[in-house]
Amino acid sequence: MTRLHLFDLDGTLIHGSAAAVEISRQLGLEKEIGELERAFAVGELLPSRFAQLAVELWAELTEAQVKAAFEGAPWLAGIREVWAAIRAGGERCAVISLSPGFFVERLLDWGADAAHGSRWPSVPFRDPLDPAGILDASAKVRIADELCERYGLGRADCVAYGDSMSDARLFAAVPVSVAVNADHHVRDIASHAYDGLDLREAYALAGGGL
């Protein structure tokens, strides 16, 4: 049976951190992004407003800093190996994240079949951010459905991996889910729960083998 494996980014593939945090670290703005992250986590900021404030915060961001943030992020071990095994078995893997597409799409080079993030202006920022391009939790289900259609699959063929409330709707929509270093929002509804630093172990819980 062919399956589609759907991976969250922040807190899932990146352990204990997020794309926004890693980018801000390159700019020396950890305190400022931390305040935005806390407001977002408690629902004080919608994804689009978070993005608008982050664009202002990252006014001087360069492509070199994005590259350094990506390469220096605390990634789980075994990501490329898991995706290679998925593809070798005739299955598909994709990343769906609320984070900026210019960060998320770098994972295509690691072997993801698809990588979807929020649509931000190109770096360095010269154009305004369009709030309509910023994803929210419901967009994860919509994009999963679009990927299923592209690959000739259905929700019943999907496995979701995530860590927080933004993944809850997707977890509820698919039959198999793995909570990775997760909070109670998804741990309580997931098929499996994994705490650790190696994606190969989380993948094994979903029936995958290397």
pLDDT in tens, 22-37: 999 999 999 999 999 9
Give the contacts of 186 (CB within 8 A, at least 6 positions apart): 162, 163, 164, 165, 167, 168, 171, 177, 179
Residue 179: its pLDDT value, please? 98
**81: closest CA among 70, 72, 71, 89?**
89
Q: In percent, how much of the chain has pLDDT > 70?
A: 99
Residue 132: its pLDDT value, please? 95
At 144-199, the pLDDT tens digits run 999 999 999 999 999 999 999 999 999 999 999 999 999 888 999 999 999 999 99
Residue 207: its pLDDT value, please? 85
Burial of 174 (0-12, 13-18, 19+ CB in 10 A): buried
Give the contacts of 84 (CB within 8 A, at least 6 positions apart): 111
Residue 48: its pLDDT value, please? 94
Output the pTM of the full model. Answer: 0.96
Secondary structure class of 77 (helix, strand, coil): strand
